[in-house]
Amino acid sequence: MDTPPENPTPLGMTRDGFANACAQRGLSAQNARLAYARFFRQRDASLLPAFARVEIAPVVKQLDEPCDEGITTKFVQRLDRPETGRLAEQGLPHLDIESVIIPMIGRTGRKGHTLCVSSQIGCAMGCGFCETAQMGLVRSLSAAEIVGQWWAARELLLCESGGTGVSPVCIPVAGAQMTGGTPAPPDQNPPAPIDNIVFMGMGEPLDNLDEVLKAIACLADHSGPCVPMSSITVSTVGRVDGLRRLVEVVQREGWKRLGIAISVNAPNDEVRNEIMPLNKKWGMEELREVIEDLVRVRASRKVLFEYVLIPGVNDSDEHARELGAWLRPFIRTETQGHIGLLNVIPYNPRRDSPWPAPSEGDVSRFIGAMSAQGVYVKRRRTKGRTQMAACGQLGTAEIRRRNFTPMTTNGSSS
């Protein structure tokens, strides 16, 4: 999976991939593996070779919103330097990535965090309810830029907990070809954990699948971030070609527990065509078929179906009945348990939205209608709405106002 770059970076590579790349440059694989583990486990890049690249995009903005479980934090990293000329040509002030740290308290009372990462700047899918879609696709992110969001998030959490971390304005590491200044001493004040990572930020992950898979392999590496594969979820609007690739991917050793979420958001093709243009290429019947293939090859993990509830668009009782019929293959029967979970997401209005947020009564009514049909259904709690950090709200207003010219520099699979 790892193609050794000219100047390898531990960000976005597995330990063995990094070691192999370094061995081609004359460093022993054993020393490279040790340097890799030290970098991720102790935040110490001093053992990395001089030819290694370590660049963490600086955090230029942080927005916090209190909720019942803690503080929801949206943070923005800036990627301008390699692309200043192209930015000026398009009238863009900056290239920014938005990510969100979401607090959660589990059944045992332990506090943890979910990190919502972006896989692209902007998005080409055009979904009418999504802020990111209004930007168009600017470019895809590299695996290193994706993993860099994880690094920045844990450093922000360390600062929040009162440790000796760095300023959230610039996330530095020590070592070769790095950005920033002096990190906390190794082994002191370890960052608060990121318990889950969800590819639900800016962009369509399956439109940048090669880099997303590299990032996941790095995040799950036992010598690296060591995030369990079962704690990583990829959310897609339903790119059937990408889902077919995932059918193969999840059959690899160690990948079967990867979480997969499908943004359905409509009960029929007519409604879905209106709010999700991709449905005109791959309709709901074809989408359901490939999901059934996924279920067959990894029966131990439920598929998450996401449904953004939009007033007057997809929230009627008839819509609930149609959705229940579409979900029938994933509902518990006498011979199988639930193999699908419906996550109802109250719509979070984007900028200049034609729709309001749904009322609590309408959300409860729709959830009740789904439950009555035997659907395993939960409601997603709304966090970060006032800071434009909630589901469907990530996006840069300045980019929306540009004359859009596509930039696809990092291996999009489209």
Number of helices (H) and strands (E), helices first, in the chain? 11, 12
CB distance 21 to 142 below 8 Å: no
CB distance 294 to 260 below 8 Å: yes
Q: In terms of DSSP bridges, do strands 120-122 and 303-309 run parallel, antiparallel, or are they unpaired? A: unpaired
Which residues are designated catalytic? Answer: 391
CB distance 342 to 327 below 8 Å: yes
CB distance 302 to 341 below 8 Å: yes
At a CB cut-off of 8 Å and minimum separation 6, what does 413 contact? 206, 207, 208, 209, 210, 241, 242, 245
Using the structure block, give the residue that is written with the tokens 């439920």. 302
| CA pair distance 135, 97, nearest whole angstrom | 13
User: Across 232-287, where does the E strand assignment appear?
Assistant: 232-236, 259-263
Q: In terms of DSSP bridges, do strands 377-379 and 340-346 run parallel, antiparallel, or are they unpaired? A: parallel
Query: Which tokens is 284 given?
Result: 């709901």
Q: In terms of DSSP bridges, do strands 111-116 and 196-199 run parallel, antiparallel, or are they unpaired? A: parallel
The helix/strand/coil state of 150 is helix
At a CB cut-off of 8 Å and minimum separation 6, what does 184 contact? 43, 158, 163, 164, 165, 166
CB distance 262 to 340 below 8 Å: no
Cα torsion through 154, 159, 162, 165, rounded to 10: 90
| CA pair distance 303, 295, nearest whole angstrom | 7
Query: How big is the CA angle at 274 (ends 99 and 126), to the nearest 5 degrees?
Result: 35
The residue type found at 340 is: G
| CA pair distance 214, 319, nearest whole angstrom | 38
User: Across 79-213, where does the E strand assignment appear?
Assistant: 96-105, 111-116, 120-122, 137-140, 196-199
